[in-house]
Amino acid sequence: MTFIYYAAGGAMAIIAALTGLLLNRKQKDDKIIKALSILLAVIFFFRYMSGDEAIAAVNFMSPIAALPTKAKVVLGFIEVWLSFASIMLVILAPFFKVKILPALVTFVAFPSFLLNYVCLFNYESAIIGETAATVFSFRALLLAIETGLGLAVSVIYVVKNRKFVILKNTEWLWFALAVVGMFAASVQPYYPKAIFDANKYAMKPIDLNYYHRLLIYPAFVIPVVLYLLLHKSSEDTRRFAMLYYSWSALIMFSYTHKFADFTGTGWVTALPLHLCNTALYVTPLCLTFRLKKLFYFTYFINVLGAFLAITMPNTGDSLILSSSICEFYLSHYQAFFMPLLIVGVGIFKRPGIKEFRYSMVAFVIYFIAMLIVNAWFTNYDPNVNYFFLNGDFIPDKFGTFGMSLLNFKWEFDIGSLHFLFYPVYQLIFFAVYFAAAFGMWFIYELGYNVISGWQDMARRKEKIKVDRLALEVKMQGRSITEPISMENTNKLVLKNFTKRYAKSDVYAVKDANLEVVGGEIYGFLGPNGAGKSTIIKSIVGIQTITDGSIEVCGYDVARQSVQAKMQIGFVPDHYALYEKLTAREYINYIADLYEVSRKDREERLNRFIKLFEFETAIDNPIKTYSHGMKQKVTIMSALIHNPKVWILDEPLTGLDPNSIFQVKECMKQHAKEGNIVFFSSHIIDVVERICDKIAIIRKGQIQCVRDVHEMERKGESLEKFYMQTISDSEVEPILVEKGV
């Protein structure tokens, strides 16, 4: 028999390899190798599902008739482990372009299949048992063909990808991590009891005891480790890893769900219809065929069910190293964290309310189906209890009240079949589970918001690092704390500034060019929504710049944000103050941020107190102030560091005439000292009286720049000119006057 198996495996290897190599030489695509990998998957499926592994009943160091020496037992375990890891690898590899896959197939899969073929008798004995050498077995023949085909697919894949086999630098580290991950995912549930004596470690993981908690912790540690390793990888790498782990988990789960388990009278309780069992089938199928709507069923429903199962296991008195415990926890780990991990690494998008509705529809269908299946199948076996809808496992957790729910029954007969339902218990079960699933959605959103915050921080840090390097290059040896444009140290300059929000096709501001010189009071006019606030917020660093640049006293706002902000005093249109502080405390707080000396701040503050008539109010809590007083506090705090550029967004709105006069005087004084005063306003009369120059913006484009004093000498009305500029939608933008 051994010779027949060797011949069959060898013939398959030679025929497949030659066919694949010859045909692939004529074709540029990978259809042949993909077809062979699918054939390998089919053969493996029927071989694996056709019976149990003989070695599952063996202790690591206890020989049996099929494997008479310890060396053969050890070799058998190695061969079986290698085969599980390698088969999944070569089945998936042709469908993905991942840099380390050729190396994995070359150095892991190919040697594994070669070892299994050379030691085929030992491998057959480990899988089939002692009859492998004497009695012909179709399953043994499939095993030989599977080994030969796996060897052939490995050879074809390596030949086609030979130039990618040699890895460089840190790629070897990823290779090593991938090997560890592959073998960890390929662990079969009977391995722990084979390596260790299960009876020697006779601990029962129940009721959250120490051993139970040891089995719960990996459910939270494993996904975090996988996320950290995968979230920055390519899409193919992430999909490959998730498919490898999910299909491996299904293979491991199928250890107790093979063809023989679905025959005879026991088939009604062997079906994988428990909620967590469905996740093991749904997850790999959704990943393979991109079934997005079905995926969210397992995401919302299976995850919750798996978590409850891990914390309240239905494993009876099984010992911690028994096959049943290992199979239970390994499969429930996958059902619990794999859907979360799939969304976390970005294979499927974060769900919204629409996806939640999909999952609830699928849950209703599943729930009704299980009600019917339980009531129907109990006619053949009273132990049928899928999703715990038909027994006392869940009610018993709630004592007398829970058990009393089972007293409400609904029974009827259809022909020879008797149907029994527990309507009160089952309705409450559905309502509680539905509510819990809805609650999970909010928990997910909270978690994703936290993760998104971390990711955003990481991206910002990376951008700061890149911008710093670019700035150092731009400065050509000068200190990065110096202005990037030395010729603009007393100017506010916009160069082709453009701003677009998110993915909008409409530009809030398009190609804005502006130059404001120290000593000028510059008015910024335009209707609501024209782009005034957008430009101002971008100057002060509240908003990012889509394109172009802004310089404040020679500092680039995007690349030298801290230095640029140190030059600016900003009075927003909607102030936000710490109202439990007094005005003095708040202004001192701002002065600390700008590192203003004690002497300078006291001198300036005393001047502002006198100017704004604030002597009696400066030490009162800000919450007791009127709107005008709060506006004055905002102005004083904006000027406490004597900024070179003072920017005001609608500063006079809501102020009384006396306050308006005080603010205007303050603006004139600040500009007289050689500083820039740049403010937006709708009050044309004020702009005309105090401004040196004005710019008018309309629909995101600066229409003109005019010298107010020149307009006055020519007898032009600013109000009339402004209305003409913003009202005629057909007129081209008015040219900036030469030299202005």
- The per-residue pLDDT for 731 is 40
- The per-residue pLDDT for 730 is 39
Cβ atoms 182, 107 nearer than 8 A = no
Give Cα separations from 703 to 526, 530, 550, 732 (angstroms). 10, 11, 18, 8
Cβ atoms 316, 49 nearer than 8 A = no
Q: Taking the mean position of all CA atoms in its chain, how far away is CA 699?
A: 37
Q: Which two tokens stand for residue 552?
A: 């404040």
List pLDDT tens digits, range 213-258. Answer: 999 999 999 999 999 999 889 999 999 999 999 999 999 999 888 9
pLDDT tier at 586 (50, 70, 90 boundaries)?
very high
Backbone angles phi, psi at 515, to 5 degrees: -140, 120
Task: Evaluate if residue 26 carries a pLDDT over 60.
Answer: no
Residue 476's region, left for phi above 0, alpha for psi from -120 to 50, else beta, is left
Q: Which residues contact 59 (CB under 8 A, 6 or more apart)?
A: 193, 194, 197
Place of tokens 């709630």: 398
d(CA 83, CA 303): 30
Task: Evaluate if residue 441 carries a pLDDT over 80.
Answer: no
Question: Which range among 130-144, 578-592, 618-632 shows the weakest confidence by mean pLDDT?
Answer: 130-144
d(CA 478, CA 422): 81
- The per-residue pLDDT for 373 is 94
Place of tokens 């193919």: 236
Cβ atoms 117, 145 nearer than 8 A = no
List pLDDT tens digits, range 52-100. Answer: 998 888 876 677 788 888 889 889 999 999 999 999 999 999 999 999 9
Cβ atoms 100, 176 nearer than 8 A = no
Give the H/E segment covering residue 417.
strand 417-421
* Count of all residues that appear for the chain in the document: 740
Mean pLDDT of the region 617-637 = 92
- The per-residue pLDDT for 216 is 93
The full set of domains in the chain, from first to last, is 1-186 (no CATH), 485-567+643-740 (3.40.50.300), 575-642 (no CATH)
Task: Give the neighbor-by-neighbor strand order of the sheet with 491-499.
Answer: 509-517, 491-499, 547-552, 555-556
DSSP for 553-604, written as a single string: TTEETTTSHHHHHHTEEEE-SS----TTSBHHHHHHHHHHHTT--HHHHHHH
Cβ atoms 104, 178 nearer than 8 A = yes
Measured N-to-C along each axis, helices 120-128 and 2-26 cross at an angle, to the nearest 10 degrees, of 110
Mean pLDDT of the region 377-401 = 90
d(CA 431, CA 434): 5
Per the prediction, the chain carries an average pLDDT of 88
Cβ atoms 364, 358 nearer than 8 A = no
List pLDDT tens digits, range 652-676. Answer: 877 888 888 888 899 999 999 999 9
List pLDDT tens digits, range 332-384. Answer: 999 999 998 999 899 998 888 888 888 889 999 999 999 999 999 999 999 89
- The per-residue pLDDT for 198 is 61
- The per-residue pLDDT for 20 is 77
Question: Which range among 226-230, 494-498, 502-506 shows the weakest confidence by mean pLDDT?
Answer: 502-506
pLDDT tier at 199 (50, 70, 90 boundaries)?
low
pTM, two decimals, is 0.71
d(CA 705, CA 691): 12
Task: Evaluate if residue 728 carries a pLDDT over 60.
Answer: no
Task: Evaluate if residue 733 carries a pLDDT over 80.
Answer: no
Mean pLDDT of the region 197-219 = 83
Give Cα separations from 358 to 295, 353, 365, 439, 515 (angstroms). 9, 9, 11, 16, 55
DSSP for 250-279, written as a single string: HHHHGGGS-GGGGSGGGHHHHSS-SHHHHH
pLDDT tier at 691 (50, 70, 90 boundaries)?
very high
Task: Evaluate if residue 732 carries a pLDDT over 60.
Answer: no
Cβ atoms 73, 62 nearer than 8 A = yes
For 290-377, where are the alpha helices, taking DSSP H only?
292-297, 303-311, 323-344, 353-377
Q: Which two tokens stand for residue 323?
A: 């096959």
In terms of Cβ atoms closer than 10 Å to its own Cβ (0-12, 13-18, 19+), residue 167 is: middle
Measured N-to-C along each axis, helices 627-639 and 598-611 cross at an angle, to the nearest 10 degrees, of 150
Terminal-residue alpha carbon distance, the chain = 99
pLDDT tier at 29 (50, 70, 90 boundaries)?
low
Residue burial 636-657, b: 16+ Cβ < 10 Å; e: rest = bbbbbbebbbbbbbbbbeebee
Q: Taking the mean position of all CA atoms in its chain, how far away is CA 270?
A: 36
Give the H/E segment covering residue 606.
helix 598-611
pLDDT tier at 25 (50, 70, 90 boundaries)?
low
Mean pLDDT of the region 323-330 = 88
- The per-residue pLDDT for 368 is 95
For 189-234, where are the alpha helices, taking DSSP H only?
191-195, 210-216, 218-230
- The per-residue pLDDT for 737 is 40
List pLDDT tens digits, range 276-315. Answer: 889 899 999 999 999 988 898 888 888 888 888 898 888 7
- The per-residue pLDDT for 391 is 87
Q: Is 392 helix (H, G, I), strand (E, B) or coil?
A: coil
Task: Evaluate if residue 738 carries a pLDDT over 60.
Answer: no
Mean pLDDT of the region 494-507 = 87
Cβ atoms 359, 296 nearer than 8 A = yes
d(CA 471, CA 701): 29
Cβ atoms 294, 362 nearer than 8 A = yes
